[in-house]
Structure 1
């Protein structure tokens, strides 16, 4: 339901809804890759952990590059992942 009357405002609402869905999906994917990294660490498989780590860092970088999360938040998440990885080895 769109409440806007002006044509440009109606379009902005539609565009914002599309962007919101896209961002929500990407953030969800980022959280999923981080969760998979944690699961790989729990399993104790070093190869799976390394692969999951690289995937998680990549998705965090992508989210920051696209403006879904702040660059400092991305840096913090990557540092936390690296710290967990180093502690496991």
Structure 2
């Protein structure tokens, strides 16, 4: 355990940030799973709606610094490709 006051503060701040990041990542993962589930069922309308939500969640996570921009771009690209694959 830290003895210095500033180090104790950093521990508290880091715990808060970790909890926030975990919640944001969880939201993104849930949105992605919904898209993948709709694609697996070949439900085009549900997949397109879920894709819109997933893109918004992933972009928010990127803007908050939880995910790198290339990671978000890759996730969005793969999901879009999957949805377009069943839409044809």
CA distance, structure 1, for counterparts of residue 2 and residue 58 of structure 2: 35
Query: How far does the alpha carbon of each residue in 1:26-60 deviate from its partner, in whole angstroms, 9 at most, with x for none?
Result: 10111111001111122232221111000111111
- The farther-off stretch of 43-52 and 67-76 is 43-52
Instruction: Using CA pairs under 8 Å that are at least 6 residues apart, name the structure with larger relative contact order, 1 or 2.
Output: 2
- Counterparts of 1:52-71 in structure 2 under 5 Å? 52-71=50-69
Query: Which residue number in structure 2 is paired with residue 40 of structure 1?
Result: 38
Q: How many residue pairs are counted as aligned between the two chains?
A: 87
* TM-align CA RMSD: 1.0
**TM-score normalized by structure 1?**
0.91
Query: Which residue number in structure 1 is paired with residue 12 of structure 2?
Result: 14
Contact 2:44 2:83 in 1 (8 A): no
**TM-score normalized by structure 2?**
0.92
Q: Structure 1: which 5+ runs fail to align?
A: none
- Counterparts of 1:26-37 in structure 2 under 5 Å? 26-37=24-35
Contact 2:28 2:58 in 1 (8 A): yes
